[in-house]
Structure 1
Amino acid sequence: MEHPPERSSAPWWQRGTIYQIYPRSFQDTNGDGIGDLAGIVRRLDYLVELGVDAVWLSPFYPSPMADFGYDVADYVDVDPIFGTLADFDALVAAAHDKGLKVLVDLVPNHTSDAHPWFQEARTGRDSAKRDWYIWRDPAPDGGPPNNWLSEFGGSAWAEDAASGQYYYHAFLDRQPDLNWRNPAVAEAIFEVMRFWMRRGVDGFRVDVIWHMLKDPEFRDNPPNPDYRAGRNPYQSLLPVHTTDLAEVQEVVARLRRVVDEFPDRVLIGEIYLPLERLVAYYGRTLDGAHLPFNFALLETPWTARDIADLVARYEAALPAGGWPNWVLGNHDRPRILKRVGPDQARVAAMLLLTLRGTPTLYYGDEIGMAQVEIPPERVQDPYEKNVPGLGLGRDGVRTPMQWDAGPQAGFSEVEPWLPVSPDFTEVNVAAETREGESLLTLYRRLLALRRGSAALSLGAYVPMAAEGDLFLYGRAAEGESLVVALNLGGDPILVAAPVEGQILLSTSGDREAERVASEISLRPHEGVIVRLR
């Protein structure tokens, strides 16, 4: 087993925990029902008290908001609904003063159709920026150039009647894809990165990094033999010519080289791929993304054996020196509470914060925010509007943060852009701060324990034999050995293991300092962390 890095020499992104903020839904300060940068500043003390180390902000750039900021109209400014560049600078300064790093979304695969680059590109075939995007003549029958599909439904080709050509869009037709085979595009995005790092940004989460190159021969994608009716139509084809091309690794390496121009920065890649393909994004010599996001816990069946197998496969697949990371929730997938239920939410918290690698928390998961049912007339997400009836809408995981039991959960003084969860009077930061054994209290204790423990923050992962609903593993660093025992089922478990020590933390919150010797008893849906003698 590879020896973990020394605690003092490890970079902050290995030692720390990342907290994702969806700015529209975190805190409104100007009374328009939409969160803003000033609202994030107002809540920084909460993040410090929670115990996270970095905040990652979903897009705040000027945008028509067709895809709520992932359709960027200007990469180097702030949309007025969120504030100004001065507000952003104030946020970075305040966060840094409190010891928090700031990460931002980089959206280099596509722009808005309102971006000046695309506006110029579509003026004609001879435009100086025509080749900044991906244009093709119609197929011989007059239709789209090939069978490529949009993730948001229908063909990925939009017709430009004025020029008689089609442009490619992996997502909405209002999000034309940039042509990363054009060196001028690459240099323009690299300058965007430098712009934000000069303003103090500590790194980037790169949106859909595995999409950034497409087949230069524009071959049709083959049918998916496993596709079944009723699933997302995008999955009817295997996107072998539109995603995860081998050449994309050089693009990732170039992004990394720009990040490395500035000290102590991090590059994170959004990648929805199987583990054996995901790990390629570390780069052949660890010259790719520092952290290719590992979303496997979002999709793995919630059983002890499936999760234990996942962790073993991931640890085995990592390149030498590659640092792992784990995610339980984000702005695109249903809330963890919906997936595992309230009993297992506490076990999920302990799992996320005790596995080896950098954890990322999604705002509100630490208080147990629910997946909210959105009435049809309140639906905002273009994914749900374009591909209705399949449960793909993302609005329910983007609802306002629940701060207190007051009007609009303390998020805003007016009705917010999405409805507040009906349970906000009980599930909120203020109430859970007062409650000694709340989910929020558990997260705070776990984060404090992780920060103070070399074994949990940087130590080795030690698999341990277990059966049934028990997931058992060790974490070890020089001078410290811990055992984590998680009951992922509804029956009590007696763990017979050669352990002797003291419980540091339990998900039930009432067993700290309890001595264990030779066996550990677990209640239903309980997890414990034991420090060995």
Structure 2
Amino acid sequence: MGNAWWKEAVIYQIYPRSFYDSNNDGIGDIQGIIKKLDYLKDLGVTALWVCPFYESPMDDNGYDVSNFYNIAPEYGTLDDVKQLIEELHARGMRLIIDLVLNHTSDEHPWFIESRSSENNPYRDYYIWRKARPDGSLPSNWESFFGGSVWEYDATTDSYYMHIFSKKMPDLNWTNENMRNDIYEMIRWWLNQGVDGFRVDAVAHLDKNMEFPNHPTLPGRQYSGCYFEFSNRPKVHEYIREMRQKAFAGYDIVTIGEAGGATIEDALKYSAYDRNEFDMLITFDHCWVDEDSEGSPHVPGKWSYKKLELPLLKKSFKKYQVNMYGKAWNTLYWSNHDQPRVVSHYGNDSSKYHKLSAKMLATTLYMMGGTPIIYQGEEIGMTNVAFESLSDYRDVEIFTLYRETVGKGIASHEEIMDRIHKRSRDNARTPMQWDDSPYAGFSKVQPWINVNPNYVYINVKNNLQDEDSIYHYYRKLLNIRQNSKTLIYGKFNLFLEDDANIVLYTRELDNEIYLVLCNFFDNTVEVKLPDEINIENFALVISNYEGQKITRNMILRPYEAIVYRKQLSI
């Protein structure tokens, strides 16, 4: 298990539309990122992952790419991106960009050609099928955004496949010419100086091209048979080919995103001896509180129940233990597709907001892997509860509303509550820089409303308050970056079935760290297991004033403590 720069990195994810608006048009931009680089470096960030900034109609905020070589004008120019790369490198930082390879925009030149005739050379760059003999859809599969994966196109009396929005037709990865065009584009970006890629939705490149129908749930028109286009065998051939033909020869990091991946899948994608990705983003730990059985009338992520902590710990252990020495983990709580973690797994009430945010950071970022911090997480940004559906921007929300409230399956009140808790727009409200109008993000009305709590949750307040979430993150990341044990050490989980406590150790050579966290708002007593020798442990960091380690401890609400000891040789 060799060292690598990306194993010792702290990555910060930026959703450019919502980060900082430098030209006051209500939309964040590349120059806005450049203006905040010193803030990020001071936090302890060593690499940025920036979400798509390519030319796009913005049906899905940039994940619908219409030209891989051009920059969306609202974000800036290619010269701005080159300046961003130069400014990052001058600070000893790196740039990771998003690669969207499962689909393009329906306004991409390839698709415009593809839909024009059945004989067009680009026809097979996408997945087209005729209706079944009885006139029904090519299959009854449901898209991730709701509704069918098939969209009718009258020009050739055919359907094209889209597992996301109908404005995002899926690329046909069985087409070698298409793949080679993708690889050429990847090499072009590498020659611009980028330091790596986060490869979006890579789990879905291989589809079952037989398109069998599947049973549907009562009252549902389409089947959520996502296994027909997720983590299928041939995707690994494509990734290995991509590594050989596009990534080879560059000192970069490649991070795959694989929704629905099992631990076995994760090892296939990222094990050192597989020559696929360096790291993998999975969603296992984000979904442990889903409740599809309890809410069969709403799809997947929109259903939820109270968190059962042992399930979350089981998820962490699965990756920490099974990947140790074989592959490298990513450590993230939040991203542009997930609710804010302090609202999801923490407590965003004024009483426990700071404590729970610090506890969550301690729980995760002392584990093995590379931290990926999502913008605003370091100041404890929370979910937003817009009262009106019209205040939302995420295309996924409107499909949910149409497929539930619109069909009489659920009430307006129920679905709005689910949107408040699970919507992707929770992560996409503007970054809260200060308490001035529009949170210092812009001087004009932003593309999406600011969370009203910006008046007290913002960067300015966090920087001025020595006890803030920001300063805790800064200390925690500094501790991590100065410890080979916290980066490379072995993970051991204790009290796996305890409903309140997370307890684990990290060990390397003759050094041990012990991490102890109370996940809830009740005071709990905990007896440290006898196999842990508690002698000589010293306090490293805590979100309270800290306490000495004892065999029997009382942890206050959301208390987090890290201890360290050196073993005598």
Query: So what's the TM-score if we normalise by structure 2?
Result: 0.87
Contact 2:126 2:172 in 1 (8 A): yes
Superposed counterparts of 1:295-444, under 5 Å = 295-301=283-289, 302-318=307-323, 321-339=326-344, 340-342=346-348, 343=352, 344-374=356-386, 375-388=388-401, 389=415, 391=419, 393-444=423-474
- DSSP 3-state at the match of 2:212: coil
**Corresponding residue number in structure 2 for 1:487:** 518
Q: 2 CA distance for matches of 1:164 and 1:61?
A: 31
Q: 2 CA distance for matches of 1:506 and 1:303?
A: 24
**Corresponding residue number in structure 1 for 2:68:** 75
Q: 1:217 to 1:68 in 2, by over 3 A?
A: same
**Corresponding residue number in structure 2 for 1:502:** 538
**Corresponding residue number in structure 1 for 2:405:** none
**Corresponding residue number in structure 1 for 2:240:** 253
Tell me by how many angstroms 1:137 deviates: 1.4
Q: 1 CA distance for matches of 2:92 and 2:153?
A: 49
**Corresponding residue number in structure 2 for 1:523:** 556
- DSSP 3-state at the match of 1:361: strand
Amino acid at match of 1:498: N
Tell me by how many angstroms 1:314 deviates: 2.2
Tell me by how many angstroms 1:492 deviates: 3.6
Q: 1:393 to 1:300 in 2, by over 3 A?
A: closer
Contact 2:128 2:160 in 1 (8 A): yes
1:93 paired to 2:128: no
Per-residue CA shift, 1:234-256, capped at 9, x if unaligned? Answer: 7x432232222111111122223
1:279 paired to 2:315: no
**Corresponding residue number in structure 1 for 2:298:** none
Q: 2 CA distance for matches of 1:53 and 1:259?
A: 24
Gaps of 5+ in 2: 290-306, 402-414
Q: 2 CA distance for matches of 1:319 and 1:366?
A: 27
Amino acid at match of 2:225: L
Aligned residues: 517
Tell me by how many angstroms 1:213 deviates: 1.5
Superposed counterparts of 1:122-271, under 5 Å = 122-220=115-213, 222-223=214-215, 236-258=223-245, 260-271=247-258
Contact 2:206 2:233 in 1 (8 A): no
1:21 paired to 2:14: yes
Q: 1 CA distance for matches of 2:495 and 2:169?
A: 50
Per-residue CA shift, 1:180-203, capped at 9, x if unaligned? Answer: 000011111111111111111111
Per-residue CA shift, 1:72-122, capped at 9, x if unaligned? Answer: 000112110000000000001101111211111100111111111111111
- DSSP 3-state at the match of 2:67: coil
Tell me by how many angstroms 1:316 deviates: 4.2
Q: 2 CA distance for matches of 1:153 and 1:73?
A: 23
Contact 1:213 1:242 in 2 (8 A): yes
Contact 1:282 1:290 in 2 (8 A): yes
Q: 2 CA distance for matches of 1:330 and 1:60?
A: 16
Q: 2 CA distance for matches of 1:178 and 1:171?
A: 12
Query: So what's the TM-score if we normalise by structure 1?
Result: 0.92
Contact 1:55 1:102 in 2 (8 A): yes
Per-residue CA shift, 1:381-400, capped at 9, x if unaligned? Answer: 11111221353642222000
Amino acid at match of 2:564: R
Amino acid at match of 1:341: N
Task: Identify which range, 64-73 or 280-289, moves more after superposition.
Answer: 280-289
The correspondence for 1:36, drawn from 18, 29, 34, is 29
1:452 paired to 2:439: no
Contact 1:203 1:259 in 2 (8 A): no
Task: Identify which range, 145-154 or 202-211, moves more after superposition.
Answer: 145-154
Contact 1:11 1:264 in 2 (8 A): no
Tell me by how many angstroms 1:262 deviates: 3.3
Tell me by how many angstroms 1:518 deviates: 4.8
Per-residue CA shift, 1:317-368, capped at 9, x if unaligned? Answer: 4385211222211111111121121433221110121011112111111111
Q: 1:454 to 1:520 in 2, by over 3 A?
A: farther
Contact 1:295 1:328 in 2 (8 A): no
Identity of aligned pairs, percent? 36
Task: Identify which range, 284-293 or 197-206, moves more after superposition.
Answer: 284-293
Tell me by how many angstroms 1:258 deviates: 4.1
Q: 1:525 to 1:414 in 2, by over 3 A?
A: same
Q: 2 CA distance for matches of 1:174 and 1:50?
A: 38
Q: 1 CA distance for matches of 2:326 and 2:179?
A: 28
Task: Identify which range, 197-206 or 372-381, moves more after superposition.
Answer: 372-381
Task: Identify which range, 242-251 or 100-109, moves more after superposition.
Answer: 242-251
Contact 1:487 1:493 in 2 (8 A): no
Q: 2 CA distance for matches of 1:132 and 1:261?
A: 24
Amino acid at match of 1:336: V
Amino acid at match of 2:320: E
Q: 1 CA distance for matches of 2:552 and 2:44?
A: 31
1:474 paired to 2:505: yes
Q: What RMSD in Å do the two structures reach over aligned CA positions?
A: 2.1
Q: 1:284 to 1:14 in 2, by over 3 A?
A: closer
Q: 1:116 to 1:237 in 2, by over 3 A?
A: same
Contact 1:223 1:237 in 2 (8 A): no
Q: 2 CA distance for matches of 1:21 and 1:126?
A: 41
